[in-house]
Structure 1
Amino acid sequence: MAPFKQENQSAVSVFLVVGLSDVAGPHIFLFLLFLCIYLITLGGNLVILSVISYDRRLRTPMYFFLANLSVIDIIFSSVTVPKLLFILVTAQRSMSFHGCVTQLSFFQFFVVAECYLLAVMAYDRYVAICFPLNYCLIMSQSLRCRLVVVCWACGLVNSLVQAFSISHLDFCGPNVVDHFFCDVTPLFKLSCSDTRVSETIFLLVVAVAGMGPLTFILVTYGHIILAITRITSSHGRYKTFSTCASHFTVVALYYGSGIFSYIWPTSTYAMNKDVKVVAVLYTVMTPMLNPIIYSLRNREVKQALKNAVGRRK
């Protein structure tokens, strides 16, 4: 996926990924903890995919987007967690230059694809609440597919841009990536090239691909809240807002931690433990929590799960 520089002048061919701790040696407790989180992530999202495929009542636009979110979360967590587990259990932190850029490109692919997919899901809730009579007509199958393709395409474009930008930098040493995976910001700090152009590109991507969808989500929810306030019945207001409560919770978790990781630490700051902890939230914890949040707060998903378990029994 990553377009590498043909004549790489970098002296560094191998990076050392620090991981979550500066202390050398295996960390069995952390390994078992993140292994459990990873298995729950895979299991939870696979259950969501199975339930949506199994129950015909869930074959609606909202669950179509939720199924795509589960697919993204499975791959998104698989980009970083397996390597982290390997580092924790073996204490072998080396990663080739090409391997590092490849991990970075896949990470940037799915982090942006999820941003746009969350914006699409917000639009879906907006149409369902503000235009309920025309919901099925507006959110047609062709439109759903086009929106999802756009989300994945935006992720691919971002991935290629970031990989191209990083692979054309020179790395003369040191080679220690002070993070638990290869990402753009820590690699900027290791480059001996002039990174101003690359950093400008990165900030533009953060503004367009990160803050753009967030702004759209906030504006959309403004219209949703305005529409809900016009409902006379308090029960009706609660029932209507509950249909988008899960999505709002996921957006808050994802963007809250993501903004702290990408906006707060500029290139002049050193990557510290606080940023690593917050990065764990949106790269590891959020993909695990998404299926749990949607399962606990959604009656249709819970009922479909009960029906599936009951039929198996």
Structure 2
Amino acid sequence: MVDTNITIMEEFILLGFSEFPNFQGFLFVIFLIIYLSILLGNGLIIIITNVELVLQTPMYYFLRNFSFVEICYTSVILPRMLLNLWSQKRNISLLSCAIQLCFFLILATAESFLLAVMAYDRYVAICKPLYYPLIMNHKMCIKMVVSSWVIGIPLLVGQTYHIFSVPFCGSNKLNHIFCDMPPLLKLACGDISGDEVFLYVDCVLFGLTPFLMILMSYIRILNSILKLSSKTGISKAFSTCSSHLMVVCLFYGSGLIAYLQSNFSYSGKTEKIFSVFYTIVTPMINPMIYSLRNKDFIEAMKRLFSKCVKN
């Protein structure tokens, strides 16, 4: 038997952007502005889609829930990052790290499936317009949203517990902006092949599966659009889908690249760049994509602001 010195860790050090020591204050201001923009933009969508009767449709119901997920999603990561940048104290306990990872995975999964639900909603609206009120009734919308929230909870809670039940040895420096699975597995001792398999299973179940659902919806939508003879109908169909497609490309383009990197090509800097993009930049851009490209939403926003000014 070979004795191995294993130090039982009680906390990690989140390195974040420590390689830029002279820019910590600047980064704090930038990320604070981004976080406030996310809260304001998504909060505005939630308020307007709640109070405006014109926007009381399934599409805006899903958008409202999506915006709420975006706020929760970034709130799991950004406040801690801002605290680290401000105080320069980057330590995080194992329990806090586990809680952050678990909530991040659950919310990321909810976001993925909500995007799939929104794609299905567009498919029904374009391909089966006469049956739209019957299929996308209020009860069905609630069931779809609740399912998006809870579908991954049992497996993801169990996986988080399993990851933190193995010992961590060597360095306690986590080269990432938050507690995520790939950098955590780099610090784990012993055989982690099972955890790596679970990582790829997660990518397939909670990343690739909703993506394929979105793809199938848009293949059917495209097939229906090509059958339309009216240019106005084609233009209207594309306009209702373009915003959602842009959000899907931003979210999956960066997220899947970050998670599907093999161990041989893993790079802490690359991982951080993609993570910043799909966890922080995308939730900031999404409200602008949905609001600025939507005439009904712009008109509803003008009415709300005019009421506020008059009062």
Would you say same fold, with TM above 0.5?
yes
CA distance in 2, matches of 1:83, 1:166: 21
Q: Which of 256, 259, 262 in structure 2 is aligned with 1:259? A: 256
- 2:275 — aligned with what? 279
Secondary structure, aligned partner of 1:27: helix
Q: Is the 8 A contact 1:11 1:173 kept in 2?
A: no
Secondary structure, aligned partner of 1:15: strand
Moved more, 185-194 or 160-169: 160-169
Q: Which of 51, 55, 60 in structure 1 is aligned with 2:57? A: 60
Name the Cα RMSD after superposition. 1.4
1:58-207 correspondence runs (5 A): 58-207=55-204
CA distance in 1, matches of 2:24, 2:306: 41
1:22-37 correspondence runs (5 A): 22-24=19-21, 27-37=24-34
Spell out, residue by residue over 1:104-140, the C-alpha distance to the aligned partner (whole angstroms, 9 max, x if none). Answer: 0010010111000100000000000000011011001
Q: Is the 8 A contact 1:179 1:271 kept in 2?
A: no
Q: CA 1:154–1:25 in 2, change beyond 3 Å: closer, same or farther?
A: farther
Q: CA 1:46–1:91 in 2, change beyond 3 Å: closer, same or farther?
A: same
- 2:42 — aligned with what? 45
Spell out, residue by residue over 1:242-275, the C-alpha distance to the aligned partner (whole angstroms, 9 max, x if none). Answer: 0111111100000001011001x22344433122
- 1:18 — aligned with what? 15
Secondary structure, aligned partner of 1:186: helix
Quick one: which amino acid aligns to residue 304 of structure 2? A
Q: After the TM superposition, which parts of structure 1 deviate over 6 Å for at least 4 consecutive aligned residues?
A: none
Kindly state the Cα deviation for residue 240 of structure 1 after the two structures are TM-superposed: 1.3
Q: Is the 8 A contact 1:254 1:286 kept in 2?
A: yes
Paired positions, count: 304
CA distance in 2, matches of 1:259, 1:219: 18
- 2:218 — aligned with what? 221
CA distance in 2, matches of 1:286, 1:165: 30
Q: Is the 8 A contact 1:26 1:91 kept in 2?
A: no
- 2:289 — aligned with what? 293
CA distance in 2, matches of 1:305, 1:158: 40
- Unaligned stretches of 5+ in structure 1? 1-8
